[in-house]
């Protein structure tokens, strides 16, 4: 991030292989600027469990973002988060289903089996939570669901419902019901978010044309504006690092 900006420091660690189908990353974000920082958070297709301490102590489960959302990062504030793949919803958060888009649910303080007395660094946070998350999964993962998400991620969301149905031996109606019952949106909408996520990375690199499976340039611009609130050219400019997509932030 730019120096003016924001003095936001971001660290991220990948999950251990044993929980990689449920967790995308563990991350930590700190605002060291001494002043509140206004940002626009962009959708990236993940469910986040965010841990905060001190006066703001607690764990909040955040549903997928369905569009751009404005937020303010308080001064001298540190946030630890786990970004989950939607597959985790059924196996870790079944009592909170559906985890609706743009929702925030306060989890019990002991939900993950760790005391909320703070963490020293991202390595400690990742190590403490990894074993506990693995132990929370009480039944084997449905191979169809795992393959479903593997296909979506491998194609950046550019795969048809028919092809997913054929390759997972699951009807389109069953797939859509599963998505709505777990994360509150359709398969198509979820795939569109994943495609936007991949496109944002391209836009950051200055490529203002559709690299992913958009019908044409007009379709590309409409979809980017839907999820970012601005057209690709303005998003690429990203003045003062206003737009944040946590999954694509460079680590400190």
pLDDT tens for the chain, residues 1 to 252:
333 345 788 899 999 999 999 999 999 988 888 899 888 999 999 999 999 876 678 899 999 999 999 989 888 888 899 999 999 999 999 999 999 999 999 999 899 998 877 788 899 999 999 999 999 998 899 999 999 999 999 999 999 999 999 999 999 999 999 999 999 999 999 999 999 999 998 898 888 988 888 989 999 999 999 999 999 999 988 765 677 776 666 555
**DSSP H or E run through 250:** none
Which domains occur in the chain, in start order?
Answer: 8-136 (2.60.40), 143-230 (1.10.10.60)
Q: How far apart are CA 187 and CA 214, in angstroms?
A: 17
Instruction: Say what the pTM is.
Output: 0.91
**DSSP H or E run through 93:** none
Which tokens go with 218? 């007009």
């Amino acid at each position: 991030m730019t120096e003016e900006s924001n003095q936001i420091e971001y660290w991220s660690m990948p999950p251990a292989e044993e929980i990689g189908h449920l967790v995308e990353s563990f991350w930590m974000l700190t605002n060291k600027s001494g002043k509140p920082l206004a940002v626009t958070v962009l959708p990236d297709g993940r469910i986040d469990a965010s841990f905060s301490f001190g006066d703001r102590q607690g764990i909040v489960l955040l549903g997928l973002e369905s569009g751009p959302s404005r937020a303010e990062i308080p001064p001298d504030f540190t946030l630890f988060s786990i970004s989950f793949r939607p597959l985790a919803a059924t196996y870790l958060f079944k009592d909170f289903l559906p985890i609706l888009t743009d929702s925030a649910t306060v989890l019990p303080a002991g939900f993950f089996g760790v005391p909320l007395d703070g963490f020293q660094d991202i390595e400690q946070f990742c190590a403490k939570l990894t074993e506990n998350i693995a132990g929370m999964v009480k039944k084997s993962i449905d191979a169809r669901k795992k393959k479903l998400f593997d296909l979506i991620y491998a194609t950046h969301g550019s795969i048809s419902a028919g092809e997913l149905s054929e390759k997972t031996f699951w009807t389109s109606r069953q797939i859509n019901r599963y998505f709505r019952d777990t994360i509150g949106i359709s398969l198509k909408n979820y795939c569109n978010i994943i495609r936007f996520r991949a496109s944002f990375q391209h836009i950051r690199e200055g490529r203002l044309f559709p690299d992913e499976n958009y019908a044409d340039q007009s379709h590309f611009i409409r979809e980017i504006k839907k999820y970012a609130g601005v057209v690709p050219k303005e998003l690429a400019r990203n003045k003062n690092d206003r737009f944040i997509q946590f999954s694509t932030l460079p680590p400190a």
